[in-house]
Structure 1
Amino acid sequence: MPAPLFPRPVEVFGIPEGHVGLVVNGGLMRGMRAASRMTAAGAVFIRDVSTAPVYRLWSILDRHPGMIRFTAGGAAISAELYAVPRVTFPQVAEEEAPGLSVGRVLLDDGSSPLGVIIEPWRVEGMEEITHHGGWRAYVAHKGIPQNT
């Protein structure tokens, strides 16, 4: 039997029944300005994660990052994995900024949970910050306040 054209993503360990694994790489992370949205949704921090080295990252007006997967020229990006209750998952996704969406994110362990990514049009003219390795390092470097 031939392999399916779109194989099922590798399961993510540590995500409880009734929850969705969600990788976040910006303001929704612990200690960041929008972290309270995750708390309000009943999301539970699972662990720090790193993407496979296939992503590039931009600062969107220093308000939030945007991450896009590339076939070449990418890097590993630091992020966090959460378990979000299925009943509140739509709330988290709907509150994201314009251009941000949810798609599969390939992690360095080979798993591919859902995660926050950005549409390419939204990064046009924005500062690429891939070399910082993640949003947390970038905001620390720039001294951008992240009051939650």
Structure 2
Amino acid sequence: MSSESRTNTEPTAHEECTSCGTTLGERRLALQSYPEAEAGSISGLSAGGLLYCPDCGSEPVELLDSWNGHDQPPVDADRSIAAGYRESAEQCSFCADDLDSEPVVGIELYRRPGEELPAYANFTLCGDCRSVFEEFLANVSAQQ
């Protein structure tokens, strides 16, 4: 082992915008999903979530700002994060339909590029809105 210490100057995947590849500073939008097994993962949100720079995050911020958030889901040894999202909401955060027994997807926002959204927020999506959100994210990425 060398006694020299080297600073890592190469950005990692977690330091770059998922959409355009710009190196990220403090201002970023970070999203993660927690699907119930039957719901399936949202493309792009399954492996470490999505990180957007302020420019690429403007459309997702506008959409998320219109959703109805809820409290942080309960999580413990007997319950998955996805199960906690099911318990936290009775209605879809996007369309406001009752969640009933269909599989849900929890969406966690844990950074934001500006003041439009809270620094931390939780949303739960029904199956139909999960598909719409997945298509929306694919379209945002394709535009960049």
Q: Relative to total residues, which structure has the larger helix share, 1 or 2?
A: 2
Q: TM-score normalized by structure 2?
A: 0.28
Greater RCO, CA 8 A, separation 6+:
1
Q: Which structure is larger by alpha-carbon Rg, 1 or 2?
A: 2
